[in-house]
Structure 1
Amino acid sequence: MKWLLVLVPLAIVLEHLAPGNDLLIFAVAALGIVPLASIMAQATGVLATRLGAGLGGLLNATFGNAAELIIALAALRSGLHEMVKASLAGTIIGNVLFVLGVAMVLGGSKHGDQRYDARAARTQATMLTLAVIALILPAAYLSIVPKAEGQMNSISALIACIMLAVYLANVAFALVRSGADVSAQAADAGHGHVHAGPAWTPRKALLVLFAVTAGIVWLSEILVGTVEAASEAMGFSDAFTGVFVLAVIGGAAEQATAIVAARQNRMDLSMSITLGASVQLALLVAPLLVLLSYWIGPHPMGLVFGPGLVLTILFAVMIAGQVASDGRADWLRGVQLLAVYLILAAVFFFVPDAVA
């Protein structure tokens, strides 16, 4: 991905020299984020190795979804709350349907039946189910009590605190139960970034991490500033752009890791990446954004997702639970997951924002 780094300065130049060409700027900035996210993962892996298993795992957990969080914060600052929710929902369903589907197709076509730890996968699936319950209930409550809109910010903040507490309990449980080495992998939630990466010193890795984070922040501001105009130019609704465009951009690095792992017959790692990343988004990133919205952006963001997003998340989690039940993967299961993802994409392409 390193050759894509040339797009980083190009996006900054285009923003100043071609401010009216929103679609081109959006595309260049989006592709420029991908190699930066990959380098961030490498730098985090170096620091994690040096810090030891426990702290290293927590560091990986913190930066595992950093690109998605930075993009979401930029959108939050601009008041694009529905775009943020669509991106969060899209990343969750993209991980458990698209990424896992591609991984199973490529891995199964090369190795036949692949095995993974069914107990660990079921644990992640259970955490994901818990997270989805927390994301669905505010919308369900509002549909039953439509006059309770004034209370939704308080309800969302309370649920966000509970979700964060559950995430911290999950990390603590993994640290206590699994011991030092295994706890790092559990706290990483399966992002696949526990490798040592390049032969960098900790000081160099830290400098790279700060530089790359600054670059992602800059490109995210450019991306969010052009996303609405670019969506209109492409004929996409805001919901489709959030669910099927921004979600892919933010998670490109870890998605590639999951697919490569399956191709190398490491289905345990691939399952852990796809399910663990979704758990972390739902239990860590989403509640953090809700709480941070009280200080960032024009007004607080609630946890009320539209009916279309609620249904898609629910379907994705149901299928993930079934796939994770027996510890076996093959290319046909991958085709089935991809079919569901494509059906959802086709429907979302025509669904108006008000419904999604």
Structure 2
Amino acid sequence: MVKRILHLMFFFAPAAFIADRMGADPGLVFLLAALGLIPLADLIGEATEHLAEHTGPRIGGLLNATLGNAAELIITIFAINAGLLELVKASITGSILGNLLLILGLSIFMGGLKNGIQTFDRRTVSLNATLVLLAIIALAIPSLFDSAFVEAIGRDTNGDTAALVMADRNEGEEPSVTEEAETDAETEVVVPEASEAAVPLDSEGASSTAELRFSESVAVVMIVLYALSIWYSLRSGGGPHNHGSPVEGAWSVRRSVILLLAATAGTAFMSEVLVGAVEHVTESLGLTEFFLGIIIIPLVGNVAEHLVAVETAYKNKMELSLAVSFGSSLQIALFVAPVLVFIALLFGERLLLVFTTFELIALFGAGLVAAFIALDGESNWLEGAMLLAIYLIVGLAFFFLPAVA
């Protein structure tokens, strides 16, 4: 039933193309492109699974680990090319939150309603949950570095300013009223310069070389950690990347490759159309670029995989559903996010892994709640409802959050 609906949604891709070429309302173009991306993303995943059937478990697991979020990666690449860095960073946060709260919550809720209390292997799930929490910590460290770096610059600049003022005052015995006024005036001129130096470093024109290098270094470490997690999962069979199931009626290698390339090309084109309408949508609908990135883009890029997670939980395969949710979160945090840092450099942009305090709190909260629910080895529909409630509250907060200057 789900596949039939997704196949019917292919109609939206040519409709988006026609609407874009005819100069239709940008809101309509954005909607059609978003709907057209959903079946294309599903086709990428399906072709990857069929191709993996011909490559063996290790290569197949590697394909799933690298192409699992290909659609969202393509969308964010076009967003980087358009200079929409706020949308890109928000989509990273939104994807992790969506997997840990929305999809995991919906899976547990639907599975619990149909099957009652569901059980799963605590050892495997605890490993996945721990990796996700470590990935969130890795994402948070550049933001902490940003705050410390800004504070250090402000402190050093203010200290130099104070030293200069004291030196000027020590040159004379009793400065006159005029001299005091001149000194105050000089201080008023210098201090604003110090405050300008302490502008958040990810704002335009203020990114420091040290911060960029630190983000690049962290990105390398995260990719290495992701590679190690893949290696472990392929060796042991219990990691977050082994969540595939046997495919019935596997396609031939030729058909899988052709459809994979076609779906990738279609996703790239739809992504260009979607990103091109973002600015008009934010202006006409009053939505912020941040909200589109944190809620809409992750849903568009991952909805097909999300449906798979919910469907498997409904069929009482809760362990597989949890592996999909945790594995996708891990891939976004440890692979997609750091790769985007280097892709941004190719477009002459500086994508720093610096997130707002609210985003970090939401990520840590989602990771902890998901871990606590999963670590006892069983789940029920009420736990799923709690995760959904948290996602709704967080989503409302992001909706009412004003645009970042």
- Report the TM-score range of the alignment, normalised by the length of the smaller protein: over 0.9
Deviation at 1:213, TM superposition (A): 0.3
**Residue number among 87, 97, 101 corresponding to 1:97 in the alignment:** 101
Match of 2:241 in 1: 188
Contact 2:79 2:275 in 1 (8 A): yes
SS, match of residue 50 in structure 1: coil
| Contact kept? 2:61, 2:234, Cα under 8 Å | no
Instruction: Give 1:15 shift.
Output: 0.8
Partner of 1:168: 227
Query: CA deviation digits over 1:57-83, x for unaligned, max 9?
Result: 101111111111111111111111110
CA distance in 2, matches of 1:335, 1:155: 39
Q: Check whether the contact 1:91–1:247 (CA below 8 A) recurs between aligned residues.
A: yes
CA distance in 1, matches of 2:387, 2:70: 26
Match runs of 1:59-74 below 5 Å? 59-74=63-78
Other structure's SS at 1:145 match: helix
Q: CA deviation at 1:18?
A: 2.2
Counterpart position of 2:285: 234
Q: How does 1:73-222 map to 2 (within 5 A)?
A: 73-146=77-150, 147=153, 149-150=207-208, 151-176=210-235, 178=236, 182=237, 186=239, 188=241, 190=243, 192=244, 194-196=245-247, 198-222=249-273
Larger Rg: 2
Residue 189 of structure 1: how far off its partner (Å): 5.2
Report how far residue 353 of structure 1 moved: 2.7
The residue number in structure 2 matching 1:290 is 341
Looking at structure 2, the residues matched to 76 and 120 of structure 1 have their Cα atoms a distance apart, in angstroms, of: 36
Deviation at residue 105 of structure 1 after TM alignment: 1.1
- Tell me by how many angstroms 1:114 deviates: 0.3
Query: Does the CA contact (< 8 Å) of 1:58 and 1:187 recur in 2?
Result: no
The TM-score with structure 2 as length reference comes to 0.82
CA contact (8 A) 1:8 1:32 kept: yes
Structure 2 residue aligned with 1:300? 350
Unpaired segments of 5 or more residues in structure 1? none
Write the distance in 1 (CA, Å) between the matches of 2:242 and 2:221.
19
Query: Which of 359, 364, 372 is the matching residue for 1:314?
Result: 364
User: Does the aligned pair in 2 maintain the 1:71–1:220 contact within 8 Å?
Assistant: yes
SS of the residue 2:376 aligns to: coil
Q: CA deviation at 1:238?
A: 1.5
Q: 2:21 aligns with which of 11, 16, 20?
A: 16
Q: Is the 8 A contact 1:45 1:197 kept in 2?
A: no
Amino acid at match of 2:241: D
Q: Match of 1:160, as an amino acid?
A: A
2:403 pairs with 1:350: no
Instruction: Give the aligned partner of residue 223 of structure 1.
Output: 274
Contact 2:47 2:259 in 1 (8 A): yes
The verdict on how the C-alpha distance between 1:304 and 1:189 changes in structure 2, with shifts beyond 3 A counting, is farther
Is the contact between residue 102 and residue 387 of structure 2 (CA under 8 Å) also seen in structure 1?
yes
Whole-Å separation in 2 of the counterparts to 1:15 and 1:82: 24
Asked if the contact 2:9/2:36 (under 8 Å) is kept, the reply is: yes
| 1:262-295 per-position Cα deviation (integer Å, ceiling 9, x unaligned) | 1100100110001110001100110000112111
- Name the Cα RMSD after superposition: 1.5
Distance in 2 (alpha carbons) for counterparts of 1:258 and 1:64 = 13
Instruction: Report the Cα distance in structure 1 between the residues aligned to 2:68 and 2:255, rounded to whole angstroms.
Output: 19
Q: CA deviation at 1:197?
A: 5.1
What letter matches 1:173 in structure 2? Y
| Amino acid corresponding to residue 252 of structure 2 in structure 1 | T
Gap change, CA 1:197 and 1:18, over 3 Å in 2: farther
Specify the SS of the correspondent of 1:175.
Answer: helix
The C-alpha deviation readout for 1:137-179, integer Å capped at 9, x for no partner, is: 1111221221375121100000000000001111112223x2x
Output the CA distance in 2 between the equivalents of 1:62 and 1:315.
27
Task: Letter of the 1:72 partner, please give it.
Answer: T
Deviations 1:292-342 (A, max 9, x none): 21112x422111112222221111111112112111110000111011001
Question: Which amino acid is the alignment partner of residue 361 of structure 2?
Answer: L
Kept in 1, the 8 Å contact 2:240–2:326? The answer is no
- Residue 218 of structure 1: CA displacement? 0.3
Whichever residue aligns with residue 123 of structure 2, its letter is R
Q: Tell me: CA distance 1:187–1:318, structure 2 relative to 1, closer, same or farther (3 Å).
A: closer
Matched with 2:45 is 41
Report the count of equivalent residues. 345
Amino acid at match of 2:106: V
Kindly indicate whether the alpha-carbon contact (under 8 Å) linking 2:78 and 2:272 is maintained by their aligned counterparts in 1: yes
Question: Could you tell me the percent identity over the aligned residues?
Answer: 37
Equivalent residue letter for 1:133: I
CA distance in 1, matches of 2:340, 2:76: 8
